[in-house]
Chain A
């Protein structure tokens, strides 16, 4: 579904992505792993158009993504939950959710999606009218994911969802993501520093180091490779 070919992204003189290639199969969860600064977030930002690559191609369901404006990408069915969640704290929970679905323009569909999200994430329903800066970290992550789902995407890009969350909550989020993938055949690209928890739900994985791919393959193969784990994944 998503094909990244030899993408090079630079910030000034720094090569954050140095020829990265990746194939994501429809309906799977692909984990993107590696240490801090390896280029994981840059990869997502490049796919989403927040950053323009120096070289390489990115195709999504046959369409070339490079050069498409950021605000158009979501219209293609790709939703991005950025690092740090990107919850707009000045707005209420419901307003954040609505924002996710606004581009579609259909009021009825928006209402239906809203009802679905509240059913999927009851804590959000309980806090729907509250300003979102009153939410806990786990609830904010839920909100960010729910907001992304409001646009009924086919591809979900998740950047470090477990960041700053207690392990139990992080595990819940991971389980929810796995559930979504199974039930709705949502394709997910999951960037994570917490490699162990990511590998436990992912189907495939790639490992980045200093902007290059150092390993890729089915998740359990990557997880089983002890040398790899010690070198790049920290466990």
Chain B
């Protein structure tokens, strides 16, 4: 019973991470109908920047985090403007390959700057020793709580932004119908760039949060590839169009993987994610929360 509780808590905190990655992917998908396969690479790169500052130059954790998010914003904006804009309206294969190229480039660049062989640890923001309940230790630490709260705050902030502000309205209109939006005087191009910037900034936040967990570490090739797959799976579960779906999908996936890891086998997380993904794509490809059932997969 206690084990189940621990697994559930673990599932929730991991799930929030997946939810955040899923949310970045959904934001980009809604705006440009592209899946950003470079997301894992982008957040890896920004996390490295933060690590470099925090670990090597002894910069304060919070300052490093802010720098990571800012560099994420810049990276996202540049990626959209330079790489993605030319292929936005073409066949989907071209966009896939371009984002893949960016992913590989970022991995190589990180390797060139910081080296590949070492898995660097990242100092966490809060203690990662679990809370004590009675005389037992929960698999949920102050750092985990921080992760959950941070992601929730961001999700709520994004919700308010999109639903209640003129900027959010413009962004939604640009995503739903770019041509009509332009007729109404909305600067669709700029908003797409902003969308990518925001998604990348969110990804940067996730990267730093993940790196600071007990199983987290920073290395060019490794932990962040799988994160993309988990985020993508979570986004698909919820429906690639639905931000709420992304969050719920993330939580569900986090819980599922947590249980599977413990009750079945703990070496093959990516395999479970693959199986979940296939199951969802076969049973309900549009996801749980997609608004239109006619949306083709």
Establish whether A and B are touching in the complex (CB under 8 Å).
yes
A95 in the interface (beta carbon within 8 A): yes
B183 engages A70 (CB within 8 Å): yes
What is the predominant secondary structure among interface residues of chain B facing chain A? helix
A-facing residues in B138-193 (Cβ within 8 Å)? 166, 169-170, 172-173, 176-177, 179-188
Given A50-B179, A86-B177, A88-B177, also A100-B184 (CB < 8 A): yes
A-B contact count (CB 8 A): 61
What is the predominant secondary structure among interface residues of chain A facing chain B? helix
A99 engages B184 (CB within 8 Å): yes
Q: Mark A residues whose CB is within 8 Å of B.
A: 48, 50, 70-75, 80, 82, 86, 88-91, 95, 98-100, 102-103, 147, 151
- Complex Cα gap A82–B180 (Å): 8
Q: Which residues on the A side are within 8 Å of B172 (C-beta)?
A: 90-91
Given A75-B185, A151-B185, also A102-B170 (CB < 8 A): yes
Q: Mark B residues whose CB is within 8 Å of A.
A: 166, 169-170, 172-173, 176-177, 179-188, 291
B184 engages A151 (CB within 8 Å): yes
Q: Which 5 A-B pairs have the closest CB atoms?
A: A103-B185, A74-B185, A86-B180, A70-B182, A71-B182
Q: Which residues on the B side are within 8 Å of A86 (C-beta)?
A: 177, 179-180, 183
Q: Which residues on the B side are within 8 Å of A95 (C-beta)?
A: 169
Nearest Cβ distance between residue B224 and chain A, in whole angstroms? Answer: 32
- Complex Cα gap A75–B186 (Å): 10
- Complex Cα gap A16–B72 (Å): 45
B166 engages A102 (CB within 8 Å): yes
B169 engages A99 (CB within 8 Å): yes
Nearest Cβ distance between residue B194 and chain A, in whole angstroms? Answer: 15
Q: Which residues on the A side are within 8 Å of B182 (C-beta)?
A: 50, 70-71
Q: Which residues on the A side are within 8 Å of B173 (C-beta)?
A: 88, 91, 99
- Complex Cα gap A183–B92 (Å): 49
A-B contact pairs, 27 of them (CB 8 A): A48-B183, A50-B179, A50-B182, A50-B183, A70-B182, A71-B185, A71-B187, A71-B188, A72-B185, A73-B185, A75-B185, A82-B180, A86-B177, A86-B180, A86-B183, A88-B173, A88-B177, A88-B180, A89-B176, A91-B169, A91-B176, A98-B166, A100-B184, A102-B170, A102-B184, A102-B185, A147-B184
